[in-house]
Amino acid sequence: MDFQTRCVHTGVNKDSAYNSCTTPIYPSSTFYWNDLETNSGYDYTRSGNPTRRALEENLASLEGGIDCRAVSTGMSAITAAMYLFKPGDHIITGNDIYGGTFRLFYDVFTSQGYKFSFVNMRDPDAVKAAIKPETKGLWIETPSNPLLNIVNIADMVEIARENNLISISDNTFLSPYLQRPLDMGVDVVVHSTTKYLNGHSDVVGGAVITKETEHQERISYIVNAMGLACSPFDAWLVLRGVKTLGPRMEAHQRGAIAVARMLDEHPKVERVYYPGLESHPQHELAKSQQEGFGAMLSFDITEDRAFAEKVFKNLKLFQLAESLGGVESLIEYPETMSHASMTAEARKEAGISEKTIRVSIGIESPEDLVADMKNGLDA
């Protein structure tokens, strides 16, 4: 079936008693056994739940994996994926990744004996130079958060295969509607389902999708053992949201390119970070591995933080808030919000400054969004 058809129909037909056209919510914490050896397929919701399983079937289908585990947050998904490794292992990742991911790697997992190198992953030679005998994985985030840098997935897959590394890609920014890393050879994909997959800013969740049995079994074990799974109601919300993923992403992108083009010409804007602009240095690479340019963009203003605060106060449609991927447009200041958990040195290395502003374009009228952003900058 076509992608959007699978968004609507995969994981739905679970009600054999009443033929519900939507997936039922099974809030039960436990399920009774038929006898000492058999049950209906579920015994305890931490280990498995029919509603959550429906979502997992849906997301595995959309990403092209053999299985999925739906978890409580995006950070839970990253945590589960990191347990494909063990203390002493070395993982290479980008120097411009999401601040929460940086914190988890730099503080939490480093204290447990994991080792990380944060490099410019746009440069394959820099990745190759960082490889050590103990290197076991590549963590790929493309487009990067918040500067929308594009990592060449094919190059990373080649490096991973040549060095027997596990490749993991965070596909949150684009969703499987616009990019499918597993199809390009990546081993594991993670999502914050809070974002585009749910799309309505009313749930937090995550997902880990695998295409190898070995990885699938390990992730399943870790999610159960650590109690990372999401609740049935949260799974139902994401499954409801993903039905409109395709139409939403098209609407998001229409607004994003309109706002990006206006910003690119505005005298108060120093630089726009959006791969959909022909002026973006990786525009052609993005075209070659993505099926669209997404709805995230960032820009540097010509002045300092005080000017940024004035812009935020004069906006009517863009809400000053963290997160992204919802139907409403959000704007935020990475230095004190989404990337405050990075060290100042790490932010500088990544190219994030007090001039940087990140925007998540919603599905409002592109004309209204352009007018609102222009008014904010002009005021």
Residue 315 and residue 362 in contact, taking contact as beta carbons nearer than 8 Å: no
Catalytic residue list:
46, 98, 170, 195
Length, in residues, of the chain: 379
Say which residues have a Cβ less than 8 Å from residue 332's Cβ, sequence separation at least 6.
320, 321, 322, 338, 357, 358, 359
β pairing state of 319-320 and 330-332: parallel
- Residues 130, 119 contacting (CB under 8 angstroms): yes
- What tokens does 346 get? 């790490």
Tell which phi-psi region holds residue 173, choosing left (phi > 0), alpha (psi between -120 and 50) or beta.
alpha
- Strand arrangement, sheet containing 206-210: 67-71, 206-210, 188-192, 166-170, 135-141, 90-94, 115-119
* Enclosing H/E stretch for 207: strand 206-210
